Amino acid sequence: MPTPRQHGGAALAHIPMSVPGFMGLNTQQAGSLLGPEWATALSNAVIDESSRVAARKGYTAITTSAISSQPIVQLYELVESDGGTELIAFTDSDVYSSTNGGTSWASIEGSLAIDDGDWTAVNFNDTIFAARDGEAPAIYTGTGTFTAVADANCPKGGVVLSAFGRVWLSNVDGHQVHYSALLDATDWTSSDSGVIDLWNVWPDNDEIMGLAAHNGALVIFGRRTIVFYTDGQGSALGVDPTQMYVVDIIKGTGCIAKYSIQHVDGDIWFLSEHGLQSLGRLQTERSNPLNNLSKNVQDELSQRVDTLSDINDLRSVFSARNRVYLLALPSGSGTETGVSFVFDTRGRLEDGSARCMGMWTLVPRAVVSSVDNSILMQVVGADGEIGSYSNQTDDGDSYIFTYESGWMDLTQQGFLLFPKRYEGIFYSDAAVTVQFKWAFDFENEFNVLSKTFVGSGGGMEWNVGEWGEDEWSGGVLLRRGKTTPGLNGEYIKLGINSTIDGSTFAVQQLDLFAKIGRYA
């Protein structure tokens, strides 16, 4: 039974909810009883530096004048050996370059004659190498414009990798991977270039969906198969393609979206038909691809992916600074932005899955993690411009942070508990409004009561008569708010909403105090 505590002369059972939602979103068991460490609804959330569930940062516009009325659909960064960088943005009719971090842009389309911006680009030897299915690949050197690769033997696939001193590119048939000459992305004819044919390697009729380099091996992702090639000895640049052989094959799972592939802290994460997968874990637990990173939100994620009209609209990014993997599923226009699933990367849960920090309303159509660790993106409604993941508004607009617990049993050791007080401890560095929510017995409708932090100079105070004035040491202002839940029931769900409009916000702790009542 919960610990009794004295309140107003009456002993109340204390049901603590330390670090609520810390385990992340769990929609798979939303209709079951779950501890408060789980969330059954979680929106626009992250884990902050104090290991609390907190509101995400926002979107801050960088581009001063839109480069096009069309959206930017691909965003890359050219990184040169001398440390210089340049942003490359593709729209459906042009390609642009920015040398000032995205503030202004210039067209570098050249002879590409772009009519679709879905180009895949990689850094290679101080250049950007870009490819698209059915088109001749093109190269940008950092000056002038893009120029098409003239070698007629260069394939015209859309899956490309820069690794081991070469460019690796799929053929349009989906069964061959070609590689360029060493350190020369324009040479696909000489004896130093070559091709890997997977037709007789696939266990069934598969197709190339992605490429990666991992632990000295070339990884070829099919839709239902993953093939590993190595040369068994290595070279100065990692792999000698003339000595490569198949060292491993994982059957039964593969990659369904090439833009989901990201290197994450020494591992590779990617989206398969079973959900978000870890390549390292698949290699260890080969027999169970269903035991994946997204298992706690699997049905929700699958349903959202199925709504995409084109899987190549999906975008992803890994941010080492923010410790998140973001999987964006953009759709619609105007306010119909789609949704982003966000996973914390700083550790795994006991079941091996990644902590899902819920769904964000910040949904990139194009996104890149730059060398200075900034997340740069084009979002729906801001066509022709990019912004950064920073501050606490979405380009001046507020957004809603939401947390809801799982259903908790109010019958313990044969007694029914009657909720009398619902308290919360929050952190925010400016004025912010908090909504307390509670519901009983699996009802969908919440009771809601709003309270407000009021900024006061450099500090903060609660409205007089409604909030406690507790203040913790160390210069961190934490305030305790409380309300009285009406009604009773055998099961209760608690929640918090907050409108984020320029302030940081985190949930430190929630507490429920209940009167010990009759036998259940």
Quick one: pLDDT at residue 295?
95
- The per-residue pLDDT for 518 is 66
Cα–Cα distance measured from residue 185 to residue 64, given in angstroms and rounded to the nearest whole number: 35
Q: What is the pLDDT of residue 59?
A: 97
Mean pLDDT of the chain: 89
Cα distance between residue 432 and residue 134, in whole Å: 52
The pLDDT value given to residue 485: 84
Sign of CA dihedral 227, 229, 232, 238: negative
Q: What is the DSSP string of 156-184?
A: --S-EEEETTEEEEE-TTSSEEEEPBTTB
The string of pLDDT tens digits covering residues 430-459 is 878 899 999 999 988 999 999 886 754 333
Give the range among 15-24, 117-126, 146-155, 157-166 with minimum mean pLDDT.
Answer: 15-24
User: Is residue 408 over pLDDT 60?
Assistant: yes
Cα angle 295, 297, 299 (rounded to 5 degrees) comes to 95
What is the mean predicted confidence (pLDDT) over 299-319?
95
Structural domains of the chain in order of their starting residue, each with its CATH number: 3-56+402-519 (2.60.120), 59-337+376-394 (2.130.10)
Give residue 286's pLDDT band: very low, low, confident or very high (50, 70, 90): low
Q: Which residue has the higher pLDDT, 412 or 417?
A: 417
Q: What is the DSSP letter of 93?
A: S
pLDDT of residue 334: 46
Residue pLDDT, tens place only, 14-32:
888 878 999 999 999 888 8
Question: Which pLDDT band, with edges at 50, 70 and 90, does 187 fall under?
Answer: very high
**pTM of the predicted structure, to 2 decimals:** 0.92
Mean per-residue pLDDT for 83-92?
96
> Can you give the pLDDT at residue 308?
92
Out of 33-47, 85-99, 364-378, 402-416, least confident range: 402-416
